[in-house]
Amino acid sequence: MADLLHFRAAGTSLVLDLSGTGLPRVPHWGADLGELSPGRLAALVAAEAAPAVAGDLDEPFALSVLPQASAGWPGTPGLSGHRDSCAAAPAFTVRGRSVVAGQRRLRVEAADADVGLTLTLEIELTDAGLVRLRAEVTNTGPGPYHLGELTPALPVPPQATEILDLTGRHLRERAPQRHAFTLGTHLRENRRGRTGSDATLLQIAGEPGFGFRSGEVWGLHVAWSGNHRSLAERTPAGHAVLAGGELLLPGEIRLAPGDSYTSPWLCGSYGRHGLDELSGRFHRHLRARARHPVSPRPVTLNTWEAVYFDQDPATLERLARVAAEAGAERFVLDDGWFRGRRDDRAGLGDWYVDERVWPAGLSPLIETVHGLGMRFGLWVEPEMISPDSGLARAHPDWILAATPARTPPAARHQQVLDLARPDAYGYVLGRLDALLRADRIDYLKWDHNRDLVDAPAHRQTAAVYRLMDALRARHPHLEIESCSSGGGRVDLGILERTDRVWTSDCIDALERQRIQRWTGLLLPPELLGAHVGAPLSHTTGRTHGLDFRAGTALFGHFGIEWDLTAASAAERARLAEWVALYRALRPLLHTGTVVRADHPDPALWVHGVVAADGARAVFALVQTATGVHSPAGRVRLPGLTPEDEYRVLPLPPGDRPEGPFTAPPPWWERGVTLSGRVLAEAGVRAPTLFPERLVLLEAVRVADGPR
């Protein structure tokens, strides 16, 4: 095999230097370099080599994808650990390497006989231009090896001088923060035992002032649902890396001789022209998965904010009928259906239908739902246990804890069930399997409503993965939603096993505009649960019009979280119009390219989806607050084919610039025809919008005619 590899895909180049016996190095990860002969590749590597630095090592340090302290790396080591008698940093020597036939995938085998470890590295460039890498370490020495961390890394160039990552909390997930990429380490650690509402989906570095449509950017995601860490690090010698992996608690990974540990996939994306390009690689990668949902994403009515724990069969049957009239295609019965569950203080773990509330079981409701042409879903929280439950009274030892001597602090009046115990795991798998076999349940809303505190997270996360995998193997047509206090478990690890995420417990449309905007950096719209709530938001107390609520939910996996039996006939009729629009648009919304414009007024957001063939697009103009200017002026509509002509028209029912002091521009009624290049560079005059309102625009390629 050649010492230099050049992987290319979808506008990205990844150059790997395999010369010598050291671990692979990355001279270039970024824009496509075109075809390079072996000689030109060698010249690129030679041009990238660093000179010796006074006062430093005699030979310049070579940064590998697993940075080694033994080689002189002064930053965060890629691997750390110890034996009881030795804490020497490993110095790996490559023993073998191979490229998977027909793929852009490298496998490297290395070892350190003195420390007693072998290492396997996998590095690939997907068809979407996404870099994925992971490492496996095996103990080949005498006695146990205590692994501290295994954190692969990718270099970024000097022009990446600004960092963007995300933080948040319950009901306000994925809030962006930006700052300079200075010397030292910007470290984001998550110790919640789940991905966490405050976790950063992506650690992004880029050129100063990068936006959605401009500036070079590089970003990493750790595909793991438990404790994890990501970092951006820059040294005085000019090295800059993005790195990430599982955050291992002391003593969590003790490798006996012959045992191995594999890190989660670390996924890296590059954007030559801003965040949209970086984001699009993740979207295309996810859509190419074998298990990615391809059937039309059904309009989902969830009962939580409609009835909460007050479940009554007759009331819920009426709600199902009204939902079906509005166009709902799935009906999900939320928390409160099982024994002892009248509030959030009891019952978790007792996964039997409560005979006092449901004397005939769930079958009559399920039959009604199916008879109305809808699928049926059920809420569960399998990883949790209420101290006030039959299960806890029978098996108090099944509560997950770091030591039997103490119980972790309660949260939401519940504890975590230790699924790494075979008996607890078998019980939960058996109960869920029985529920799914007893009735035609098509969907599980799988919740996870508390952090893991003072508890081993690694084994619990691995057990949850096994449980989901086993359940889906028994029920191949089952769909699962990842819910975790709303958006507390959003990552590519859980999405290997689930079909969408509940983006946030907050369905206030104004908050959801931001939450969905930034969650969408990683996930395409069809994976984002987005529901129309009641006029008065249950989590913020704000009141929004139906068009703003529905227009916000349109750009996700559309659903309803509202007691429609209390809605007026006019509200239900208007909602049915939005449901019909979603059902007509979802082939476009769930396969097209997500675009966002960098508008100079932060109060006006512009986003949309362009069809894969460029023939059609839908855009939303969203007024989130009072603007700096009124009217706002022109807005650019990005992503259309530059050479094609498009007819742009307002799209009903999102065609009304409602509110006081609002007015459409003169072109609004009859539309306007312009090229994709003009629409992206010059744009069109926006209507004057009242705050917390939106309108929709449709662009149709002229050759294809109107919709």
Query: Residue 278 sits in a domain of what CATH number?
Result: 2.70.98.60
**173-219 pLDDT per residue, tens:** 999 999 999 999 999 999 999 999 999 999 999 999 999 999 999 99
Which active-site residues does the annotation give?
447, 505
Q: Is 648 helix (H, G, I), strand (E, B) or coil?
A: strand
Q: Is residue 82 part of a domain?
A: yes
- Inform me whether the pLDDT recorded for 95 exceeds 70: yes
**Mean pLDDT on 429-442:** 98
Q: Is residue 455 part of a domain?
A: yes
Tell which of 252, 287, 322 closes a domain. Answer: 287
Q: Are residues 35 and 93 in the same domain?
A: yes
Count how many domains the chain has: 3
- Inform me whether the pLDDT recorded for 522 exceeds 60: yes
**536-572 pLDDT per residue, tens:** 999 999 999 999 999 999 999 999 999 999 999 999 9
Q: Are residues 568 and 691 in the same domain?
A: no
**315-330 pLDDT per residue, tens:** 999 999 999 999 999 9
**Mean pLDDT on 613-628:** 96
- Inform me whether the pLDDT recorded for 705 exceeds 60: no
- Inform me whether the pLDDT recorded for 706 exceeds 60: no
Q: Is residue 304 part of a domain?
A: yes
Question: Which secondary-structure segment (H or E) carries 79?
Answer: strand 79-82
pLDDT recorded at residue 707:
43
Q: Is residue 293 part of a domain?
A: no
Q: How confident is the model at residue 125 (pLDDT cuts 50, 70, 90)?
A: very high
Q: Are residues 469 and 332 in the same domain?
A: yes
**Mean pLDDT on 616-621:** 98
Q: Is residue 199 part of a domain?
A: yes
Q: Are residues 617 and 646 in the same domain?
A: yes
Q: Are residues 450 and 309 in the same domain?
A: yes
pLDDT recorded at residue 521:
98
In the structure encoding, which two tokens stand for residue 347, read together?
């019952």
Q: Are residues 565 and 605 in the same domain?
A: no
Say how far apart CA 358 and CA 411 lie, in whole Å.
28
CATH number at residue 563: 3.20.20.70
Q: Are residues 92 and 57 in the same domain?
A: yes
DSSP state string for 159-183: T--EEEEEEEETTEEEEEEEEE--S
pLDDT recorded at residue 184:
98
Q: How confident is the model at residue 684 (pLDDT cuts 50, 70, 90)?
A: very high
Q: Is residue 308 part of a domain?
A: yes
Q: Are residues 334 and 244 in the same domain?
A: no
Q: Are residues 409 and 467 in the same domain?
A: yes
For residue 507, what are the domain limits? Answer: 300-587
Q: At 473, phi and psi to the nearest 5?
A: -65, -35
- Inform me whether the pLDDT recorded for 131 exceeds 80: yes
Q: Are residues 276 and 173 in the same domain?
A: yes
Tell which of 287, 320, 349 closes a domain. Answer: 287
Q: Are residues 697 and 671 in the same domain?
A: yes
**Mean pLDDT on 333-343:** 97
Q: Is residue 83 part of a domain?
A: yes
CATH number at residue 632: 2.60.40.1180
Say how far apart CA 323 and CA 416 lie, in whole Å.
34
- Inform me whether the pLDDT recorded for 385 exceeds 60: yes
Give the CA radius of gyration of the chain.
27
**7-51 pLDDT per residue, tens:** 999 999 999 999 999 999 999 999 999 999 999 999 999 998 888
Tell which of 587, 617, 647 closes a domain. Answer: 587
pLDDT recorded at residue 514:
98
Say how far apart CA 395 and CA 401 lie, in whole Å.
14
What's the chain's average pLDDT?
Answer: 96
3-state secondary structure 222-289: ECCCCCEEEEEEECCCCCEEEEEEECCCCCCEEECCCCEEECCCEEEEEECCCHHHHHHHHHHHHHCC
CB within 8 A of 160, min separation 6: which ones?
A: 181, 205, 206, 207, 216, 217, 218, 240
Per cent of the chain over pLDDT 90 is 93
- Inform me whether the pLDDT recorded for 52 exceeds 80: no
Q: Are residues 304 and 283 in the same domain?
A: no
pLDDT recorded at residue 704:
58
Q: Is residue 294 part of a domain?
A: no
